[in-house]
C-alpha cells in the first residue's frame, strides 16, 4: 500500500492537507474541511486505515490539526475515530492527538464531544 498524500491549494482551501504515512503509521489531517462531497473525500482515508490495519498491524498515530470542519465532515471524523477505536479494541496501539488553538473555544468543545462519542482517548494539545 502507498502513502496517502492530499494537498490543499489556494484554489481548494476547503479540502484539508492529508498525509497518511505507510512507513511510520503517523496520519495527519490539517487545515480546513468543508468540501461539497464530504464522504467522497473521506472514504479513501477510512479505507487506507482499514488496509493499513489489515496489512501492517502496526501502531497508528492520528494527528488532527484542523482549523475548521463543517458538520458533514464531523460525521466522517467520527467514523475515523470509531474505526480506530475498533482497531484498539482488537489490540492495536492507537494514539489520537488533536492540536488546537487556545483562542478557539469551539474547537476544544468539539474535541470533548468527539471523545464522548467515540469513546477514544483524545490527547488535546494546545498550539
List of residues 6+ apart from 79 with CB closer than 8 A = 42, 46
User: Which of 1-9, 22-30, 68-76, 90-98 is the region at the interface with other proteins (rule: CB under 8 A)?
Assistant: 68-76
User: Could you tell me the smallest distance in angstroms from the CB atom of residue 72 to other proteins?
Assistant: 5
Q: Rank residues 93 and 101 by Cβ distance to other proteins and give the closer one.
A: 101
Q: Is 109 exposed, middle or buried (0-12, 13-18, 19+ CB in 10 A)?
A: exposed
DSSP strand pairing (60-69 vs 26-33)? parallel
**Sheet containing 4-6: which strands, arranged edge to edge?**
4-6, 17-20, 26-33, 60-69, 94-100, 122-126
Under rule CB under 8 A, residue 104 binds other proteins = yes
Under rule CB under 8 A, residue 116 binds other proteins = yes
- Among all chains, which residue has been given the C-alpha cell 477514544? 120
Assigned C-alpha cell, 72: 458533514
- Residues touching other proteins, count (CB under 8 A): 26
Alpha helices by DSSP H, 1-124: 38-56, 71-89, 105-118
Under rule CB under 8 A, residue 9 binds other proteins = no
Count of beta carbons in the 10 Å neighbourhood of residue 11: 7
Binding test (CB under 8 A) with other proteins, winner from 63, 74, 88, 124: 74
User: Which of 17-25, 47-55, 71-79, 90-98 is the region at the interface with other proteins (rule: CB under 8 A)?
Assistant: 71-79
Binding test (CB under 8 A) with other proteins, winner from 1, 5, 7, 39: 39
Q: Which residues of this chain interact with other proteins, rule CB under 8 A?
A: 13-14, 34, 36, 38-39, 42, 68, 70-72, 74-76, 78-79, 102-106, 108-109, 113, 116-117
Amino acid at each position: 500500500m502507498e502513502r496517502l498524500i492530499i494537498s490543499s491549494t489556494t484554489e481548494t482551501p476547503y479540502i484539508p492537507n492529508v498525509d497518511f504515512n505507510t512507513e511510520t503509521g503517523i496520519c495527519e489531517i490539517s487545515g480546513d474541511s468543508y468540501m461539497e462531497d464530504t464522504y467522497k473525500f473521506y472514504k479513501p482515508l477510512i479505507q487506507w486505515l482499514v488496509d493499513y490495519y489489515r496489512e501492517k498491524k502496526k501502531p497508528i498515530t492520528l494527528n488532527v490539526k484542523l482549523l475548521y470542519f463543517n458538520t458533514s465532515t464531523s460525521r466522517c471524523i467520527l467514523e475515523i475515530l470509531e474505526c480506530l477505536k475498533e482497531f484498539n479494541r482488537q489490540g492495536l496501539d492507537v494514539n489520537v492527538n488533536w492540536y488546537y488553538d487556545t483562542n478557539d473555544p469551539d474547537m476544544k468543545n468539539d474535541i470533548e464531544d468527539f471523545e464522548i462519542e467515540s469513546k477514544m482517548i483524545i490527547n488535546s494539545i494546545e498550539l
